[in-house]
Structure 1
Amino acid sequence: MNKNRLEAFSDGVLAIIITIMVLELRAPEEPTWHGIAGVLPTLLSYLLSFVYVGIYWNNHHHLIQLADRVNGAILWANLHLLFWLSLFPFTTRWMDESAFVEVPVLIYGINLLCAAIAFYVLEQALIREQGRTGSVARALGRDWKGKASPLIYLLGIGLTLAQPLLGIAIYTVVALIWLVPDRRVEHFVYRAHQPDDASGQEASGPTVP
């Protein structure tokens, strides 16, 4: 099954998610710096969720570029991921409108945790399709960020019960961790799209440790 429709559909859904989030932004009640300060929490919560959607879009793009084909299990795993990502506008708005109290921040953290688990499920579905010697498995390697992120989210959820702002701080730390690009995956994507040379061998790309 061709992977292009899956990627195009996913890109469209992620674009809609970002659009919905930006439509939730409201203009300041006063055309002053004080008015901007009043909507600053809204802008910051939007920024955090926008960064998360951008991270998922970036990593999803690289992941699908490494796939040879997709099957039914991969399609459902991808829909599972998109479901949790589609809840970002709702959980972001609730967290903001409630002034970052415990339950909405907790639900936001659970949303992030479920999205991370869903992305891991998608990775595993692609690996099962290719096998352990396929490009996806080799590019991900030990995938320490993917395995550590759910644990950090659980820490953030736990800290939210004590102080919601601590939970948000932890969620922000995870986003900052993922902003650092994974060069291994990028190198594999680069090598996968190099044309064969005259000898029929794959053109050499960056060395992957």
Structure 2
Amino acid sequence: MKKTLYLFCFLFFFCFVSTSAQSHKLLFETPYGNFKVLLYDFTPNHRDLILNAIKTDVYQNALFNRVIENFVVQGGEHDIDIEKREAADPMGHKPRLSAEFDQRAYHKMGALGAGRDNNLEKASFLNQIYFVVGKPITESELDALEQKKKLVYTAEQRTYYLQNGGQPRLDNDFTVFGEVYEGLDVLINMSKTKTDKGDFPIKKIPFQITEIKE
């Protein structure tokens, strides 16, 4: 019980620090419950992309369609559908949004990221998002990732990952542009849903997004 209380206090502290200077927040409504997300102003292109998507109903009738426990909950346009659509385009268009990497935006529990394919620029899909549900991380794992990825985790990143877990192996490969600041338990519960061999939830998980006006 004490460990659980400490974890949520720690998460609240980091959320408070991160959210204090940001200007846009979103509400996600799902059958599992609702959760709230902060968008980072220091990843402005991805922030504006999803804000515009909300205004133009891009995520109307959207689903969380790829769920992997201890990894991610992914929604919006699926990789398979993107590949089919782009393959059918006679002009061969593959629209992407350039990556926005920032040391303040990393794959902590509840991080909001943009999906992508294997393009060399690490540019993001326009209509696919994911949330990190993560797993415990050890110091030796972080050390190995620093060697492999040729990066150095900040003191904040290292402290957070060791205390709470996440998915640091995705850092500097996928753009993180926000984080859950309320209702993380909803996502964790969702990540445990039954799926088929392709990680599709057996029972559909629709979601709606609205911007929180304060």
Q: TM-score, normalised by structure 1?
A: 0.26
Larger radius of gyration: 1
Structure (1/2) with the larger strand percentage: 2
Q: TM-score, normalised by structure 2?
A: 0.26
Structure (1/2) with the larger helix percentage: 1
The higher-RCO structure (CA 8 Å, 6+ apart) is 2
